[in-house]
Every structure is written in C-alpha cells, then in structure tokens.
Chains A and B, each alone.
Chain A
Amino acid sequence: MISAPDVVAFTREEELGDELYREPPLPEEYSVPLFPFAGHGANPWAKVSSSKFSRDFILISEFSEQVGPQPLLTIPDDAKVPGSFDLNYFSLRIMSVDYQASFVGHPPGCAYPKLNFVEDSKVVLGDSKEGAFAYVHHLTLYDLEARGFVRPFCMAYISADEHKIMQQFQELSAEFSKASECLKTGNRKAFASELEKKLKDLDYTRTVLHNETEIQKKANDKGYYTTQAIEKANELASVEKSIIEHQDLLKQIRSYPYRKLKESDFHAYEPEGTLDQAGTSSEQDLATSDPAEPGEMHLYSRLPSYTPKLIKAKPAKCFDKKLKTLEELCDIYFFNQTLDQLHHIERTFRGDVCYLLTNQISRALLKQQSVTNFLFEDVSFLEEKAPENQYRGCQGLSQDAADRKCSEESPAPKVVISLGSYKSSVECVPIKMEQDMGDPQEPSMTESITFEHQENLDYLDADLKGSISSGESIEVLGTEKSASGLMKSESQASLPISPSPQVGRSKVGSRRTVSEDSIEVLSTCPSESLIPEDFKASYPSAINEEPYVDDEEGGLRFTPRLNPDNADEQEDVSNQENLAQIDSACCIGKESPSFLEPLPGLGQKQCDEDGVVRIPPQPYRQAEQGLHGSLVGSPPCDGAPGGLLPHELDSRCPTAGREVSRTSLDECSDSTSYISSAASTCSDRTPSPAHPVCLTNERHKKKAGQNALRFIRQYPFAHPAIYSLLSGRTLVVLGEDEAIVKKLVTALSIFVPNCGAYAKPVKHWVTSPLHVVDFQKWKLIGLQRTVSPAGVGVLHALSRYSRYVSILDADSKTLRCPLYKGTVVARLADHRTQIKRGSTYYMHVQSVLTQLCSKAFLFTFCHHLHLPISEREPEESVVNRRMNFLKLHLGLANEDVKIVQYLAELLKLQYIQEPGQGANPLLRFDYVPSFLYKI
C-alpha cells in the first residue's frame, strides 16, 4: 500500500550525535517547527492573544501625496484596540504598492484629462513577525485638487488570525465592496459638486477677465496689444480651456453609473436606510442617491446655491494646499453610511473564527430542515438573507432595540428581525409603533377583570405549603378528573362577561358531552383499541382519585365541579362557568374535525376519526401513551362549529402573527403574547458575533443559559420541570417577585418547543387569572401571586386547572408535576455538570435539543410506523410497532417517549399547515398523576 522510497527520509533527530555528522545541523530557519502550535504558547487560542492588538479592527489608510502612507482612522475608534501595534508602519506596508495601477491624467492621444474608473483591488497580506494579517481593500477616490485627481485609500481588516481572513475572504470581500461602493458613490457626488463649483468659479472668472479685457480693449487705442493685454488674453484662454476640461470631467463623472451598470458584476450602492443619523443629508439626497437612471444626474445637479469666486489661473503649489479629509471627499451622508457599514463588518467578523464558521455551516444546514426548525430554532435567524441587508435598516433602532430586546416589554426587535430584510428603517418604524400601540391595552384589560376567590386562595396556599412534609415524598394528587365533567359543565354555561359569541359556541360544545365518566372521555378516540377495563386495572388511581378531588385535604383544589349540583357551592358561579366554558371550547376544539377545514355537525366518532385520519402520518393518540388520556386540541382556523369564539378564531388565523390582541371574552388573557415570544425566541440563536441584533441575542442567550444552569443546580426537581415543558405540558411559574419569576421563566424558556414559526409560547409575567386558552397559547407562564382580590382570582383560576398544568412555586420552591424517569433530560440538565458558562450550557442544550428534534423527525416521517402494513393489520399492531420503534430504535426510555411523541405531534401539525399559515397551537391535557416535589 505504501511506496517504499518515500520512507527513506525518516530519521530520528533526537538520536543524531555530532560525532556521527560533521556537517552543521539544519539551521532552524530552513526547518519546520516540530510542534506547529508550540511556538505560540502551545494552545489553539494563543495565536490571537499574543498579538499586539487586543482584537480585530479596521484601519483606513491613505497614500497621501504630501506625507506618504498614513493611517486615518480605526474602527472601533479606540486607541486601546490597536494597542502598541504600529499603525504607521502597517499603513506603509499595505499602501506601499499601488495594486490598482490606475492611470489617470493625460493618456497619450487624449486632449483632456481622463478619469479612470479603476476597480478595487483586494489583497491579503501579513506581517508574520507582528502576528498581524490583513485583508486590504484598495480604492481610489477623486479629488479635483489631488495629483491626477486621485487619492488612493485602503480599508484593511486586521486580524491576528491568518486563516480567519482566508476562510472568510469572500464574505469580507463582499462586505468591503459595499463599503467601498458607498464611499465611492459619495465621492462621485462630492466630486461632481466640486466640479460644478469650480465651473461656476471659472465661469465667473472668465466673465471678470472678459470684462477686464474689454475694458482694456476700449482703453487701448494704440493699435497694438500691451503685454498686459496679452497676459489677460492668455489667462482668459487658459480659463476657457480649463472650463472645457472641467466640463469634460463633469461629463465623465456623471456618465459613470450608466457605464458601470452595464457591467454584470457591478453592484450599485443603494442607500437603503435613510436614518436620522444621516440628518445632515437633505431629503433630495435620499431621493436621488439611487444611481439608477435619473437619480445620478439629479444627484449631481441639485446643489445648494453657491456664490462663485474669482480664482487664479495657476493652482497653488502642491505643499501649500491642504488636502481634503476623507469626510470632505465624500458626501457626509455616504461617509456616515460607510462608517456604519464598516462598524457592521467589524461586528460581524469579530471574535473567534470557529464561531463564525460554525454559524455559517449551521445556517446552511438549518436551511435544509425547514420542517423541524420551528421547534427550537430561531427562524428569524435563518430568514435573515444576509446581515448586510439589515444593518442599515436596523441601525437607528439597533441600540434601543438591543436594550429592550430581552425585556418583556419590547416587542419590536423580534418582529423587526422576522421581516428579514428591510428596504429602510422607515418601514421598521410603523411596525414597531403598531406593537407599541398594542401594549397599552394590556393593563386596562387585566385590571378590568377581577375575581374574588379568597377561599380558593386559601386552599391553594394550604396545598402548596403543607400537603407534604418530607422533601422526597411524593403525593399523588387527586387530580384525575374526568373530562366529561368539563363537558357537562360547559353545557350549563352562561356567560356574563361576553355573552354574545359564547352562546353559539356552548351549543356546539354541548353536542359532544355524551360521556358520563372519565373512562368514556379517555377513550374518545374510538379507533383506539383502548379498553376501559384495562384502564381501570392498571390505573385504578385514575378513577379512585376522583372523589379525592373534593376532599378538603386534597391536593390542589380543582374548582369546576363534575356535578352540576355542586356548582352552587362555588362562590362565583358565573366566573366558573365562564372558565368552564372555555374548557369545553378547548375540548370541542379538539373534537373539531380537522386542522384545515371544519366539518359541520359531526358526531363524536366521526370527529375523532377525522382528526386522526386526515393527517398522515397519524397523530398522536391516547393509546400510545399507555393509559394517560390526552386531549389534543387544535382550534379550527375558520371559526366554524365547535371551535373557539369567532373573534378568537379570527385573531388566530391571520397568516402573519397569530398572537394578535384579543378582546371581550378572552380579555383577561394577555394581549401581548408576542412580547414574550419576542423576548424568548431570540435565545434560539447559534453563536454569532454578527450584527447588533445577534449581539443582543448573544447576551440574552448567555443570560438564559446562566439562569438555566443556576436553575438545574439549585432545584433538584429540574428534571420533571423540564420534562413538563418538553412534553408540552404547560408549566406555570408562580411567585410574588416579578424578577425571580421572570428569571425562572427565562431559564426555562430555552427548553420550550415552539408551536409555530414565529412565537415561542412563553409568557414571562401574567397578573390576571389564566384561562384554558392561555394554556393553548403558552407553555410556560410566569404568574403573579398576590394577596389582593385580583390575585385570588388568579390563584383560583390556577387551582382550577392545576391538574392540567405543572406548577413551579418560586416562593415555596415546590414543583407539582408528573413524574419523570427518563434519561434524555438527565443528559440535558445534569446538576453535576462542570459546564461553567451560561453560553456554553446554552450550546449544550441546543445540541441535545437538536438530537431530540432529529428523533422526532424520524419518528414523524417513518411511513411504516404510521400506516398499516396490510389492510387487515389491526391498529393495535401499528401502535405496538410505533412503541417498539421509539423504545428500541430511538433508544427512548419511559417518559422520553412522550417527549418525542409530543415533538412529533408538533411537527405533524406544522407540516400539514397551509404555507403562510402558522400552526395552530396545540391544546393538550394529560391526565397524569402529579407529584409534589420539594427542596
């Protein structure tokens, strides 16, 4: 396999003795270092840290005709960044050659000076001794006063990592080309206006000279020309020649865009963002700065009024004149745009190249996974076509957006991002405003609803405080309450708060209330071969617990009564009914036939069957989960029978954001759910040192990671909590202190799977009572606990649904949720982990979640798992096959199965959605016994 002659060069240097070899040893400069990384301190990070400058920066240099190469400015403009690095020397090095080799001036055979529109050159070079490597972008600007009308400049991206520059060469080149194009556009504009001024001066001078000559002529009656007159005439001639030359130059500079635009690879600079920062530029600039057809002419022709002055025919000596600064050479607006672009470049490429590379790779890979991305990825991250399109639009907003991004009260940035690319920030503003307008509604709505359930508050408190004394003991709560109870209660509903739409719905709802007990409900999917007896046998507690609910010392009190007779025991019937109404709505929503279109007048069976069969691969069913009943609710989109209220439905259907503020019945729920989604989805980014939004995300991600790390270390029951989130069971974080609750919500938000493309179902802080629809929208809710009357309502509502949700009490540090015995979450959240930083932990979580996604994807799209092999194959064996697959092929144990099933369910829902329609959030209740965990 291996050719022998190649082997011969092998020698063992360490055994070489001088006595054996008379020749001097190989000089080290001719050799190669034995350890390629040892020279820099033997670690992969040392290369960068050993350089004289602390981080990458951009240097703009000029080859001045007066003083030679000189550095002009650095980005970031901070003396600390270049440090002791010799900018003068490096400027000399990078500017020492005119790589553009442009020829401006009088080419042979041409009467007038000719402008040469040279193309930019790009050079990568380095100074290996200093450990500085640079991408250098050479460009030429025009200056009427400069030698040959040109001023050579360069913009250099300086980094200590040579490979980074080569690996990112194309990206750097593209970004710097934009900056250069911007600068040159501004320069052409400035040059043209300078020419026009000069022409006016010349014109004026000519007039003056002409007048003087005329006067002289008149005064001269000698018949011959005096020396003075000849001088004047010569001067006049030279001014006229100069005028022609300048006119020609003006013509050339104006004709530039047309010539260049014809070239295929020319990308005209289009100032997309026209921001306040460019306030100095007048509106006409903005309107005309597009170099497309009429624009450029316009651009050059419309100048502020200018008073011409007399000029001398002879130019000042080279060293007498002061050269224009870069700012003067370029229209101020374009100059600022260029600086912004350079800042953007600096932000985009800063940092370790491994993050940049992985970011690029991840982005490419994520684009191939459009089906699963919505679950845990930040879709906006993928939709950004290219950061460069954004920077202009974002600039104005970036800072304040950045500041508010992660706070709950800042809806704007997320939506701004999801727009992908903007044409200008002008478009951003109304969007932001629109959302801001949505906000103020929230307090008024929440305030308008008050519930007075002091007793329930007491119950709840008692439950949370002391139902279990030992830390490790687990209480099986009497929370198995049949869904039929709900069904019944809905039938008696009357709605005081918002009656009109409710009536229709309750009627529809009542159709379904056939079943008498929980078992009936649990087997609402007739196609399932779930036998009630089996159910009883293996889960007697599910039924036996039933009366337990009503016991005084029971767990969380569940207020809506099974029996309508009990209803009068409640303090606030109407309120309950209202709530129950919503319950029923959800159940019916589940029953409603399809995700895409409703079928009117469906019997129960049909509904169920439809709900299942329509969706290939078949959706999740109760039987698969063993004996845990689950109701899968998905509100129909077009508001037909049995679904939610029409106005609710309307608000859900819009293609863009499903979370539109809602009114009337649902007003107690928060109208600003997008806020939380805005805040939380930004945590879904892969590391990227890119543009401002990314930076904010980085920060948020880090924060979320830190909080999560702290959470899993502090709370021994982190696993069941995370399991709740991953399996789609809503987790309510209850607490008095908003900051603590929000912190917990932020921590846990990274584990919440998305239901649709745009919103993360996380609500950081709610002060009003929860409704069932809230559980449909949000899978993680921060809930305020107060002693005020309003707070009672909140707790009352919570206790009402306590068996359907997991409750993390931040004050008493307890968690009530189903048991978890799987392994996935243990890998995800090991409290003994040595991971030190939040951002690292976040990355770890992300990779584990990606693994889960992949499993869910496989499970969802394995055809043979969901379809019978033969026509006669019973449903049972298909279900068995599915379970076997989950357990054996995917290696899932116990509850992990449910996580993958839930994710698969979400995938299915998303997959069958019409494009452009967001997936409807899933409302699902698991009748699983809850346990109380304490620290």
Chain B
Amino acid sequence: MSALCPPPSPAVAKTEISMNGESPLLAATFAYWDNILGPRVRHIWAPKTDQVLLSDGEITFLANHTLNGEILRNAESGAIDVKFFVLAEKRVIIVSLIFDGNWNGDRSTYGLSIILPQSELGFYLPLHRVCVDRLTHIIRKGRIWMHKERQEHFQKIVLEGTERMEDQGQSIIPMLTGEVIPVMELLSSMKSHSVPEEIDIVRTLCLFLTPSERRCSRLCRNETSFKYESGLFVQGLLKDATGSFVLPFRQVMYAPYPTTHIDVDVNTVKQMPPCHEHIYNQRRYMRSELTAFWRANSDEEMSQDPIIHTDESFTPDLNVFQDILHQDTLVKAFLDQIFHLKPGLSLRSTFLAQFLLILHRKALTLIKYIEDDTQKGKKPFKSLRSLKIDLDLTAEGDLNIIMALAEKIKPGLHSFIFGRPFYISVQERDMLMTF
C-alpha cells in the first residue's frame, strides 16, 4: 500500500508526540481543500514510536481522502460535521471533523482527523462522543483564531507590503496541538487503565453503567493521578500529597452530563445541577469563552491557555457542586435489600440486573408517556404531576434518577419537560412542588 502513496509534500509539518504508554491513535491530521490542488494535508501529529504502522505517505493519502467529496459540502452555517470511515482495505478507522473557515481571505473547507487501526473499532466507539466533543470545541476556537490570523495577516501585508506564505493560517496548528495531544493521552490512558486498580469504588459504580458506558470509564492511576477528563462516565482520581485535588472548572463545564463528585475519604457526595441547567450553563460558558476569544487583541492573549479575559460584569457560579437534598426510594430500597442476598452466588448481580432493568424500563416508559402526552413534542408538556403519580415517581429523587437515565437515551428531555431550559435547581424544585 505504501508504495502506491506518494510522499507528502514538504510543506506538511509533523509533530511527533512521545507518549507514556501504548497509543491506540495512529495519527491525527489537519487537511484543507485547496481550490487548485484539491485536498491537501497541512499537519500531521503522530505518536513517537519505534515501529511505524503508517507511513507519512499513507497518512497523507488517508487524510486527503477525508476531504474528498467535500466540494459538495452542504452544511448549516458554522456546522462542524463528523465523518466516520472504516476502511477495511487500509485496516484503519478515521474520524474526521469537517468544517468551513476563513483562511487567507478564502473560505475553504478543512478537516481535522484522527486515524486508528481498524482493530480498535470496539475500543473507540464508546469514546467517540468524548473525542468528537473535545475536538469540536477546539475547532470552534481554532476557527476564530484562523479568522483573526487572516485579519492580522492582511494588516501585515498592508504594513509591510509583502506576503509571506509561511505565515498563513499556521496559527491554528498550535491550538489544535493543544487538544490533539490530550486526546491522544486520553485514548492511551483508556487503553491502559481498563485494568482494575486500587479504588474499588470505581468498579462498583461501573456496575450501574451499560457495557459501552463502562468502556468509557477510567480507573485511577497509581503513580501520578490522571487529570479529570470531561465526558467519562466514571473516573477515579487521586488527591495529591497534601490531600487536595483540583477539578478543572472548564472541563467540568464541558462534560456532556452534570458531574457528581464523590470523596471516598470523607464520604461526601456532591452533585452538579440537573442536566438541563448544566447544558444551559455549559453553553453560556462556551459562548462566553468564544466571545472572549473573538475579542482578544493580541497573540499573547490568544495563545495563553487558559485565556485571561475577565469580564467583570459576570461572575460564574463556582459553587456548582451541591449536596444532594432530595430523597429517593429506588436506590434506597435497592441498598437496603441487596445485602440481604449472600455474596458469591451471583444472586447480587442478578438482583442488580433487575434493578437496572427496572430503571431502564421506567425511563423508557417515561419517555413514551411524554411522547404520547405531547404528541412527540408538538404540544408543551404540562402534566408532570400526573406523570409522577401514574409512573410511581412521586419521590423527587426517583424522578431525578429516571429522568437522568431518560436524558441519556433521549437527549433534550430535561429541557423539554422543565420548560425553559435555564431554570435553576431551586426554581425547578419549587416548580415541582407546585404541581
């Protein structure tokens, strides 16, 4: 195969990344659609390994393929589309994020791709959303960066009267690098840390997840703790020597679902607000971040990470983690009951499976109930009270649990049920009470 691939053009830059463990990622590429030459690769990121699984020529060949056909692209404004390839002939899978952007004064189409061996399909699919979410957001930022670069580029041309090709649009690369490397590391850590380690609670909690969610959960690492990664379902983190640890606000906000923080040393459980509120906060945070980015005036401002742009008019609510106040019957009964069964006879796992089945069935019934009641969203949902009575979810905790599960299989349900998506929890609770 490699014989058939031409060597990449010398303009292709390559960043080799040394990884701690095995990297399931073969390479990441950034390509663009050149109006004369067609798809062109601009940058390659690859883990530094002894054995070359894919030559640069092959990587280029594959990356070019990701943009093929994109001349026909028909996307919503600002859309970042995902393409996913399983190329059995090449034994690879490619995930490409295709987006439009302004660069060098031209509007063009770009593609950021990651390439994995086909054998990792099963490993990758559960992590698809995490990877795509993260890369999508960095593209949002990078796109702004490209746009600004262009403006500055023109200013330079005007000032200096010269045009230097090498300046063009390069600046998106470091920004992408800033996210591609963590994604590589994340995948690598997911590869290595499926092996159980000392924090048992992670494994216990994973019992409540579906198999694919479990594959999107990570145990903690003994030597040096992992950092928090948004989008994992359960992850074990270690405190540092002083007994403290840092939960990065941005990552917590970027997570697709609200996070629950469990401290096994002091036995505390704290939760973020429910999903609709979390999503609302997340979107506001993202927008403000991008806006701040848009307004950044200098390279220094932009290149700093995390970016320093304060807006005194708004202080985010740092107190995102709160104690759980509501009561539930489902989990409480489950915990009361399961320990009556003798361990080691797989009785408990059967009981657990029953418990999960009950939750899933209730969640689906809830979705169906709302679907019927609102004629698939055509009418507003008004009868939360009836729902609670009819489906036996009168305890607020029960409703929260079932709603959370339903949200996973029917995204947007929270926002839809609770009307305006930005009710804060207290308001929501009040609303629930008034029903």
Q: Min CB distance, A244 to chain B, in Å? A: 27
Interface pairs (9), CB distance under 8 Å = A5-B306, A11-B309, A30-B140, A31-B290, A36-B279, A93-B74, A125-B81, A354-B367, A857-B351
Within A16-70, which residues are at the interface with B (CB < 8 Å)? 16, 21, 23, 25-38, 41-46, 49
Whether, in the assembled complex, A312 has its beta carbon less than 8 Å from a beta carbon of chain B, the answer is no
Q: Which residues of A contact B292 (CB under 8 A)?
A: 8-9, 11
Q: Select A1's contact among B321, B336, B365, beta carbons within 8 Å.
A: B321
Q: Which residues of B contact A99 (CB under 8 A)?
A: 65, 85, 87
Known: A9-B307, A858-B337. A30 touches B78 (CB 8 A): yes
Q: Which residues of B contact A851 (CB under 8 A)?
A: 358
Q: Min CB distance, B311 to chain A, in Å? A: 4
Contact B361 A26 (CB under 8 A): no
Q: Which residues of B contact A28 (CB under 8 A)?
A: 77-78
Q: How many A-B residue pairs have CB under 8 A?
A: 323
Contact B308 A5 (CB under 8 A): yes
Whether, in the assembled complex, B49 has its beta carbon less than 8 Å from a beta carbon of chain A, the answer is no
Whether, in the assembled complex, A386 has its beta carbon less than 8 Å from a beta carbon of chain B, the answer is no
Known: A31-B287, A889-B340. A97 touches B89 (CB 8 A): no
Contact A9 B75 (CB under 8 A): no
Contact A37 B361 (CB under 8 A): no
Known: A10-B288, A854-B358. A37 touches B283 (CB 8 A): no
Q: Which residues of B contact A13 (CB under 8 A)?
A: 284, 287-288, 291
Whether, in the assembled complex, A6 has its beta carbon less than 8 Å from a beta carbon of chain B, the answer is yes
Q: How far is the CA of A99 from the CA of B279 in the complex (A)?
A: 37
Whether, in the assembled complex, A79 has its beta carbon less than 8 Å from a beta carbon of chain B, the answer is no
Known: A30-B147, A843-B361. A125 touches B416 (CB 8 A): no
Assuming A354-B367, A861-B342, what are 11 further A-B pairs, CB within 8 angstroms?
Answer: A3-B249, A5-B308, A7-B316, A10-B285, A13-B284, A29-B77, A36-B279, A44-B416, A170-B125, A368-B349, A834-B373
Contact B390 A830 (CB under 8 A): yes
Q: Which residues of B contact A37 (CB under 8 A)?
A: 411-412, 415-416, 421
By a beta-carbon cutoff of 8 Å, the part of chain B in contact with chain A is 4, 65, 68-69, 71-72, 74-79, 81-90, 121-122, 125, 128-129, 140, 143-144, 147, 210-211, 245-253, 261, 279-280, 283-292, 294-295, 306-311, 313-316, 318, 320-321, 333, 336-337, 340-342, 345, 347, 349-351, 353-358, 360-365, 367-369, 371-374, 376-378, 383, 386-387, 389-392, 409-413, 415-416, 421
Q: Which residues of B contact A2 (CB under 8 A)?
A: 246-249, 252, 318, 320
Q: Which residues of A contact B416 (CB under 8 A)?
A: 37, 42-44
Q: Min CB distance, B225 to chain A, in Å? A: 14
Q: Min CB distance, B35 to chain A, in Å? A: 17
Among A2, A118, A362, find the residue whose CB has the most chain B CB atoms closer than 10 A. A2
Q: How far is the CA of A597 from the CA of B421 in the complex (A)?
A: 64
Q: How far is the CA of A524 from the CA of B208 in the complex (A)?
A: 46
Contact B341 A862 (CB under 8 A): yes
Q: Which residues of B contact A41 (CB under 8 A)?
A: 377
Contact A889 B354 (CB under 8 A): no
Contact B287 A10 (CB under 8 A): no
Whether, in the assembled complex, A299 has its beta carbon less than 8 Å from a beta carbon of chain B, the answer is no
Q: Which residues of A contact B358 (CB under 8 A)?
A: 847, 850-851, 854
Contact B354 A93 (CB under 8 A): no
Q: Min CB distance, B171 to chain A, in Å? A: 15
Known: A30-B78, A44-B416, A96-B69. A9 touches B85 (CB 8 A): no
Known: A854-B351, A863-B342. A118 touches B89 (CB 8 A): yes
Among B253, B333, B347, B377, find the residue whose CB has the most chain A CB atoms closer than 10 A. B377
Among B84, B211, B251, find the residue whose CB has the most chain A CB atoms closer than 10 A. B84
**Interface size counted on chain A using CB atoms at 8 A:** 112
Q: How far is the CA of A751 from the CA of B401 in the complex (A)?
A: 26
Q: Chain B binding site: helix, strand, loop or mixed by DSSP? A: helix
Contact B295 A23 (CB under 8 A): yes
Name the CB-closest residue of B to A165: B84
Within A351-368, which residues are at the interface with B (CB < 8 Å)? 353-355, 357-358, 361-362, 364-366, 368
Q: Which residues of B contact A126 (CB under 8 A)?
A: 81-83
By a beta-carbon cutoff of 8 Å, the part of chain A in contact with chain B is 1-13, 15-16, 21, 23, 25-38, 41-46, 49, 89, 92-93, 96-97, 99-103, 118-130, 162-163, 166, 169-170, 173, 353-355, 357-358, 361-362, 364-366, 368-369, 371-372, 686-687, 827, 830, 833-837, 839-840, 843-844, 846-848, 850-851, 853-854, 857-858, 861-865, 885, 889-891
Q: How far is the CA of A93 from the CA of B68 in the complex (A)?
A: 10
Q: Which residues of A contact B286 (CB under 8 A)?
A: 32
Closest 4 A/B residue pairs (Cβ): A43-B377, A29-B78, A12-B314, A119-B88
Contact A8 B357 (CB under 8 A): no
Q: Which residues of B contact A3 (CB under 8 A)?
A: 246-249
Contact A30 B285 (CB under 8 A): no
Q: How far is the CA of A853 from the CA of B353 in the complex (A)?
A: 12
Q: Select B354's contact among A128, A358, A372, A827, beta carbons within 8 Å.
A: A372
Q: Min CB distance, B210 to chain A, in Å? A: 6
Known: A25-B291, A43-B412, A43-B416. A128 touches B361 (CB 8 A): no
Q: Select A358's contact among B246, B294, B409, beta carbons within 8 Å.
A: B409
Q: Select B360's contact among A16, A119, A365, A368, beta carbons within 8 Å.
A: A365
Contact A850 B368 (CB under 8 A): no
Name the CB-closest residue of A to B383: A834
Known: A9-B306, A11-B311. A101 touches B122 (CB 8 A): no
Q: Which residues of A contact B68 (CB under 8 A)?
A: 96-97
Known: A9-B309, A162-B82. A35 touches B415 (CB 8 A): yes
Q: How far is the CA of A16 from the CA of B251 in the complex (A)?
A: 25
Contact A889 B309 (CB under 8 A): no
Known: A1-B246, A41-B377. A9 touches B285 (CB 8 A): yes
Q: How far is the CA of A4 from the CA of B289 in the complex (A)?
A: 15
Contact A10 B316 (CB under 8 A): yes
Q: How far is the CA of A169 from the CA of B121 in the complex (A)?
A: 10
Q: Select B391's contact among A27, A96, A124, A844, beta carbons within 8 Å.
A: A844
Q: Which residues of A contact B74 (CB under 8 A)?
A: 89, 93, 127-130
Q: How far is the CA of A837 from the CA of B144 in the complex (A)?
A: 49
Q: Min CB distance, B405 to chain A, in Å? A: 10
Contact B372 A836 (CB under 8 A): yes
Q: How far is the CA of A854 from the CA of B336 in the complex (A)?
A: 13
Name the CB-closest residue of A to B409: A354
Name the CB-closest residue of B to A93: B72
Contact B357 A128 (CB under 8 A): no
Contact B294 A26 (CB under 8 A): yes
Known: A3-B248, A357-B409. A30 touches B294 (CB 8 A): yes
Name the CB-closest residue of A to B357: A365
Contact B373 A35 (CB under 8 A): no
Q: Which residues of A contact B307 (CB under 8 A)?
A: 8-9
Q: Select A843's contact among B285, B368, B389, beta carbons within 8 Å.
A: B368
Q: Which residues of A contact B129 (CB under 8 A)?
A: 166
Q: Which residues of B contact A89 (CB under 8 A)?
A: 72, 74
Q: How far is the CA of A591 from the CA of B410 in the complex (A)?
A: 54
Among A170, A354, A833, A839, find the residue whose CB has the most chain B CB atoms closer than 10 A. A354
Name the CB-closest residue of A to B132: A166
Known: A10-B285, A34-B287, A839-B368. A128 touches B76 (CB 8 A): yes
Q: Which residues of B contact A365 (CB under 8 A)?
A: 353-354, 356-357, 360
Q: How far is the CA of A127 from the CA of B144 in the complex (A)?
A: 23
